[in-house]
Amino acid sequence: MSFADLWRELEPVGRDPGTGGYRRYSRTPADAQGRAWFTARATKLGLAVQADNNGNLWAWWGDARENAIATGSHLDSVPDGGGYDGALGVVSALAAVEMLKDKGFNPERAVVLALFTEEEGARFRVPCLGSRLMTGAIDADSARALTDDDGVTLAEAMTAAGCDAGLLGPRPDLLDGMAAFVELHVEQGRALAPLGAALGLAEGIWPHGRWRLVFSGRADHAGTARFADRNDPMLPYASTVLAARRAAAERGALATFGKVIAEPGGANGVSSAVTAWLDARAPDEAALTDTVTAVRSVAEFSCEEHGVTLSVRQESYTPVVRFDERLRDRIAGVLAAAGVKAPVLSTGAGHDAGVLAARVPTAMLFVRNPTGVSHSPAEHADLADCEAGVRALALVLEDLAR
């Protein structure tokens, strides 16, 4: 099947008809549908699909379990995410293998397509959960105890999906058997369009993390409680949001509050608590630490002013990532020989490739995003660029697996 045909098949899975965005959260029916689709398409290509102990799927072309060349991405999404983030890498991997099979290529090393679980952390709040478990970047007990917004633990969700959460844990054997991992991904940001390049290569990923802030005050009546008598958690929360923007801008960093829950949520009441998630990223770890420290100190000061208590918890952290230079140079050489230019870009977006980079020589190929918008239904890549991405990935796999 062509890239376009595969794309059309996957397109409706988990798409919200109202917003046009994707709601493919892990261990939900949309997630199961995506996994079933991947399994069916990989099986049709003659690949042997295996689920690992962490909920990731691996589709093997070839029997050798040493020096394998891995590629792939994820199908889960952020709330109302775009169609390309993750899915482009999965569909391109299938299309690239089909292209290589059609031309009669026989890999000497195994080629394996990965489908990672919960890359976005949209449900259980830790991004790249599948790759973190596999590399040991998160321990199995902490992972099992992760909860979603309804209080369902990862262990419970896995059990409900027919998986054994008792088996979660690192897979050094799988990682040791990988000679390289190459993740193709839609560009997030807009660097390639002004350069007139359809494809790019990743240099590294900014260090980044998520912090949960709980501002606890006292519920009260919006029409009768005097300002002086209130302990309103919304006020220190509001100060903190503005401080985060300022602190990050001063340090060349980024800070975002994209999720907030006010309890109990009455329009005519002072909130009892406000829970908000700070996502912070910076070019280096010192700038990131500084930014978060500055945000925390404003939050603490403002909480004191309003008689509100504050608790802050780091929910995830990813140190700076530098992708393997030799692998990138090799890929650049393969592409240049085919007349494809691929500028090298740094990104603030997290990826399973970034987590795997701690254990395996890893590279990323980006496909131009003409508007740069991502984590949004407006995310887009032109079909011609996606097809160029598939051809490039096929060339890279052919070179690495030869």
The residues binding Mn ion (CB under 5 A) are: 85-86
The listed partner (Mn ion, ligand GLV, none) that binds 127, CB under 5 to 8 Å by sort, is ligand GLV
Cα separation, 398 vs 334, in Å, equals 10
> Cβ of residue 337: shortest distance to Mn ion, in angstroms?
28
Q: Among residues 208 and 296, whose Cβ is nearest to Mn ion? A: 208
Measured at the CA of 361, the angle between CA 356 and CA 362, to 5 degrees, comes to 60
Q: Among residues 101 and 259, whose Cβ is nearest to ligand GLV? A: 259
In the numeric block, which tokens belong to residue 269?
């009441």
Residue 199 dihedral angles phi and psi, to the nearest 5°: -130, 155
> Cβ of residue 106: shortest distance to ligand GLV, in angstroms?
35
Contacts of 8 by beta carbon, 8 Å cutoff, 6+ apart = none
Measured at the CA of 139, the angle between CA 133 and CA 141, to 5 degrees, comes to 115
> Cβ of residue 315: shortest distance to Mn ion, in angstroms?
16
The listed partner (Mn ion, ligand GLV, none) that binds 354, CB under 5 to 8 Å by sort, is none
Q: Among residues 89 and 127, whose Cβ is nearest to ligand GLV? A: 127
The listed partner (ligand GLV, Mn ion, none) that binds 350, CB under 5 to 8 Å by sort, is ligand GLV
User: To which residue do tokens 């409680």 refer?
Assistant: 225
> Cβ of residue 257: shortest distance to ligand GLV, in angstroms?
14
Q: Among residues 86 and 207, whose Cβ is nearest to Mn ion? A: 86
CA 126 to chain centre: 9
> Cβ of residue 294: shortest distance to ligand GLV, in angstroms?
21
Across-strand partners of 29?
Answer: none
Segment 109 to 128, residues that bind ligand GLV, using CB under 6 A: 120, 127
Cα separation, 256 vs 381, in Å, equals 25
User: How many residues touch ligand GLV (CB under 6 A)?
Assistant: 4
Q: Among residues 61 and 206, whose Cβ is nearest to ligand GLV? A: 206
Residue whose CB is nearest to ligand GLV in the complex, by number: 350
Integer angstrom CA distances of residue 125 from 183, 230, 237, 297: 22, 32, 20, 24
> Cβ of residue 188: shortest distance to Mn ion, in angstroms?
7
> Cβ of residue 30: shortest distance to ligand GLV, in angstroms?
18
Ramachandran bin of 174, using left for φ above 0, alpha for ψ from -120 to 50, beta for the remaining angles: alpha
Segment 299 to 358, residues that bind ligand GLV, using CB under 6 A: 349-350
Cα separation, 392 vs 190, in Å, equals 20
CA 127 to chain centre: 6
Cα separation, 300 vs 310, in Å, equals 7
Q: Among residues 83 and 350, whose Cβ is nearest to ligand GLV? A: 350
First to last CA, the chain: 23
The listed partner (Mn ion, ligand GLV, none) that binds 86, CB under 5 to 8 Å by sort, is Mn ion
> Cβ of residue 397: shortest distance to Mn ion, in angstroms?
20
Give one DSSP letter per residue of 182-207, joined into a string: EEEEE-SSSSHHHHT-SEEEEEEE--
> Cβ of residue 189: shortest distance to ligand GLV, in angstroms?
11
In the numeric block, which tokens belong to residue 273?
């608590």
Helix (H), strand (E) at residue 270: strand 269-270
Q: Among residues 31 and 120, whose Cβ is nearest to ligand GLV? A: 120
Contacts of 34 by beta carbon, 8 Å cutoff, 6+ apart = 10, 13, 14, 24, 75, 76
Q: Among residues 58 and 116, whose Cβ is nearest to ligand GLV? A: 116
The listed partner (Mn ion, ligand GLV, none) that binds 361, CB under 5 to 8 Å by sort, is none
Q: Among residues 393 and 401, whose Cβ is nearest to Mn ion? A: 393
Q: Assess 379 for contact with ligand GLV (CB under 6 A).
A: no
Cα separation, 200 vs 158, in Å, equals 36
- Positions in the binding site for ligand GLV (CB under 6 A): 120, 127, 349-350
